[in-house]
């Protein structure tokens, strides 16, 4: 397929499709009260090694929006990276879901919030009293929009600041599986044990059809989540088809195996082309941002390779590897780049 444009363009994994077909037998209670629901919560609690509330959804934007509504009042502020999905790719959904909360961007290298800058921004807050929005939450993306991964030490440093100012920490884990594989730790260590209060748990990019979940670790934020889901239009009547996907996703580590493959393809590509391209960011998961001469980019396009040219940067392309990336396609891309 030579498609390196997005993991959203990858197909549904056959085991997840099988689960959908098997679930498509007869009748089952609607609106999340089917027999798979409790099983799913038990699976997530086992995976994370703690109590957690799981809210299945169909988009990551809804997960992020509901997380914002839970942590941040209309008069509150949420700190996030300028390039975060929350800030640039959700058409104001976090503001909409929260009833008007303000997003305050905190810049930083490699797609990560700069921790000292975050601290400084918070130190400087409060001087305008009720004239300014009340700091309420920090949202980080794991993997980041630059394809990098926050280390556990970085997550803990963010939590320390959050604790100092009484803020919630939300993780946008649209590519959480890819990050977890890179970190090489268990799911609990990468989240609540490192201070994450709420996680947008993505599965769609990594082999599901339209299955995401908001996972709440901190019971303080477990308030009326089902009503918030309903109001957002995400209370799916035939919810069993989301439940079964998430169960199949977790079964026998399918999700981690898929992410491992995607990350390995990105690494294979990076190590093979390191003398031929310049990388914008360290490659730590399944996305690679490369700077290439424009004529080389055009050549790759003529050869039928699909990828995004990055907005605003004519000579930058983004390559995304997925569970469905065929190694033969990665090798063809490597050959095309190294032969130029
Ligand atoms: C970092 C990040 N967060 C969240 C999402 C979820 O988006 P969607 O609402 O399209 O499922 C995406 C998808 O591109 C993403 O890249």
Burial 248-268 (b: 16+ CB within 10 A, else e): bbbeeebbbebbbbbbbbbbb
Query: Phi and psi of 131, rounded to 5°?
Result: -75, -15
Per-residue pLDDT at 339: 87
Residues 112-129, mean pLDDT to the nearest whole number: 95
Convert the pLDDT of each residue in 35-53 to its tens digit.
Answer: 999 999 999 999 999 999 9
Per-residue pLDDT at 311: 87
Per-residue pLDDT at 340: 73
Residue 141 CA: nearest ligand 1 atom is 1
> What pLDDT band is residue 312 in, cutting at 50, 70 and 90?
confident
User: 141 CB under 6 A from ligand 1?
Assistant: yes
User: 135 CB under 6 A from ligand 1?
Assistant: no
Per-residue pLDDT at 12: 98
Q: Please, what is the end-to-end C-alpha distance for the chain in angstroms? A: 21
User: 206 CB under 6 A from ligand 1?
Assistant: no
Sheet containing strand 316-320, strands side by side: 278-279, 287-291, 316-320, 308-309
Question: What is the whole-number distance in angstroms between the Cα of residue 147 and the centre of ligand 1?
Answer: 13
Domain ranges of the chain: 14-253, 255-339
Convert the pLDDT of each residue in 62-106 to its tens digit.
Answer: 999 999 999 999 999 999 999 999 999 999 999 999 999 999 999
Question: 255-339 has which CATH code?
Answer: 3.90.1150.10
Per-residue pLDDT at 178: 98
User: Would the pLDDT of 1 be above 90?
Assistant: no
Per-residue pLDDT at 218: 98
Residues 265-270, mean pLDDT to the nearest whole number: 98
User: 245 CB under 6 A from ligand 1?
Assistant: no
Question: What is the whole-number distance in angstroms between the Cα of residue 59 and the centre of ligand 1?
Answer: 7
Residue 84 CA: nearest ligand 1 atom is 1
Residues 184-205, mean pLDDT to the nearest whole number: 98
User: 59 CB under 6 A from ligand 1?
Assistant: yes
Q: What percent of the chain is modeled with pLDDT above 90?
A: 96
Per-residue pLDDT at 190: 98
Q: Does domain 14-253 have CATH number 3.40.50.720?
A: no
Q: 254-273 vs 240-250: helix axis angle to the nearest 10? A: 60
Geometric angle at alpha carbon 276, from 274 and 282, rounded to 5°: 35
């Amino acid at each position: 397929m030579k498609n390196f444009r997005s993991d959203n363009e990858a197909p549904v994994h056959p085991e997840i499709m099988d689960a959908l077909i098997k679930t498509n037998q007869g009748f089952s209670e609607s609106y999340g009260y089917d027999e798979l629901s409790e099983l799913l919560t038990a699976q997530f609690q086992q995976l994370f090694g703690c109590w957690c509330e799981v809210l299945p959804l169909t988009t990551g934007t809804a997960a992020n929006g509901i997380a914002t509504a839970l942590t941040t009042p209309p008069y509150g502020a949420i700190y996030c990276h300028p390039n975060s999905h929350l800030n640039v790719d959700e058409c104001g959904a976090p503001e909409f879901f929260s009833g008007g909360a303000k997003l305050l961007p905190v810049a930083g290298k490699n797609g990560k919030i700069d921790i000292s800058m975050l601290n400084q921004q918070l130190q400087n807050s409060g001087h305008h009293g009720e004239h300014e929005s009340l700091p309420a939450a920090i949202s980080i993306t794991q993997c980041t929009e630059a394809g990098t991964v926050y280390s556990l030490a970085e997550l803990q440093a963010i939590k320390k600041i959050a604790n100092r100012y009484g803020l919630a920490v939300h993780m946008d884990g649209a590519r959480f599986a890819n990050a977890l594989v890179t970190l090489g730790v268990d799911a609990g260590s990468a989240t609540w044990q490192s201070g994450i209060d709420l996680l947008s748990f993505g599965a769609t990019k990594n082999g599901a059809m339209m299955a995401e979940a908001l996972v709440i670790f901190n019971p303080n934020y477990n308030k009326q989540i089902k009503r918030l889901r309903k109001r957002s239009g995400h209370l799916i009547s035939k919810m069993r088809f989301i439940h079964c996907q998430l169960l199949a996703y977790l079964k026998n580590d399918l999700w981690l195996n898929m992410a491992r493959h995607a990350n390995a393809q990105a690494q294979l590509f990076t190590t093979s082309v390191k003398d031929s391209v310049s990388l914008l960011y360290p490659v730590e998961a399944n996305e690679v941002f490369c700077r290439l001469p424009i004529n080389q980019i055009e050549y790759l396009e003529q050869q039928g390779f699909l990828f995004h040219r990055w907005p605003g940067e004519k000579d930058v392309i983004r390559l995304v590897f997925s569970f469905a990336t065929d190694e033969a396609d990665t090798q063809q891309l490597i050959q095309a780049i190294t032969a130029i």
